[in-house]
Structure 1
Amino acid sequence: MCARYALYYAPAPTDPLWALAAAWLGRDPEADAAVAQPDLPDIAAVTAEPRLYGFHATLKPPMRLRDGAGRDDLLAVARAIAAAAPAFDLPPLEVAAPHGFLALRESRPCPPLQALADAAVAWADPLRAPPDAAELARRRGSGLPPAAEANLRRWGYPYVFATWFFHLTLTRRLSSAEHALYRPAAEAHFADVLALPRRVSEICLFAQPTPGAAFILDARISLAG
């Protein structure tokens, strides 16, 4: 059985960002294949965590499915979400450092993006199995603000709805010295594609086949128009 599923945004395979991101992280999650990384010190270690999840922005965070629910149930929900959500343009991207890690973020607010994430969280939640004690402890870490704690209790994840933010993760959390190395490298690596016109026209179902395994892009679901 599959350990976890998630609903993500991922660039279209024809978008040059997709290939550049696979190279940066060292893995293409759609082909489930390793990709040569840039020649940077310790790049494999710095990108190990985001490589496991595949290049993406979270809509519905990874979850185990409740008893009696399966992949096809979640795929049906994803199709319903997509049918109700018109395609839209993503603002230009930029390299940012939220919470100490590097990520690509939108350069200005994008209400349709927030609406898509909100729908993914709410519509797919009836299929979610409750997190166990170990997962709750890991999510809490050294503590959560009250709103994030409330989300964790209700939705199984701290950063949803008002606390959600769009980000395509590039690294683990970095030290100051690592930021000085990797941020300019990321800006150079992605420089030619961040401002390209980019249409959000699908959501993606990602699957983690077994605990600890890398996530695989299982299905792309087209939005309505």
Structure 2
Amino acid sequence: MKISIKREFDFIEYDVDMQDVTLLEMLNHIKSEVDSSLAYSSGCRSSVCGSCGVRVNEKEVLACSYKVQEGDKIEPLKNVPVIRDLVVSLDKAYETNARAKAWISEYNSQAKQTHEDEKINETQSDCILCASCYSACPVYAVNEEFLGPFALTRVWKVVSDKREAELKEKIDTIQTNGVWDCTLCNECTVVCPQGISSKADIEKLRAKSSQYGYMDPNFGSFGGGFDSGFGFDGTPSF
């Protein structure tokens, strides 16, 4: 089976006698048996740690779960600095969580979580910070200050948690380079290995923002309100 791997400026072709294997298994074989200089990241091998994110045929995948196909072209994630071969630095992407204040700032001691409450943001809790969404994001590609998909998903997780006592602080924080900068293209959702829709979360954050008097600045000169189609709690209002 022939595959090509991006190394520095060129794709290098490897012909490996393996079938029905994951990309990570093939990378391990190439490094141990063919080319020991190949660099890539891996960790849990169970689609949990998110460290083996790469692009195959221009789509983001986890190497530990993707089954290799003849002619595949593998390259590092986009929109992040490449350290070497398939190894990238995710530091700047991770910093967006801090800039977005994507955590509970102050607990409402009177609010008690029920099992039903936990299910509201259960999916968002599955984010593994693989940065596939940042690699696929066309906004982050041109604006590195954009808070980006997984940071905004985490903000929605906090905002939808009734134990958070500082909702306005969270909403204020995501107005600049945040919810209104997203194009809602849905590329982040398509590539998320956990099935998280950051697009949907951002739409719900826009609805929350409107409740605090914010609106899309692109519509500011037209007058009238912004109707996102969602109620205050992020549920559809139609």
TM superposition score normalised by structure 2: 0.24
- Give the structure with the higher percent helix: 1
Of structures 1 and 2, the larger Rg is shown by 2
Higher relative contact order (CA 8 A, sep 6+): 1
TM superposition score normalised by structure 1: 0.25
- Give the structure with the higher percent strand: 1
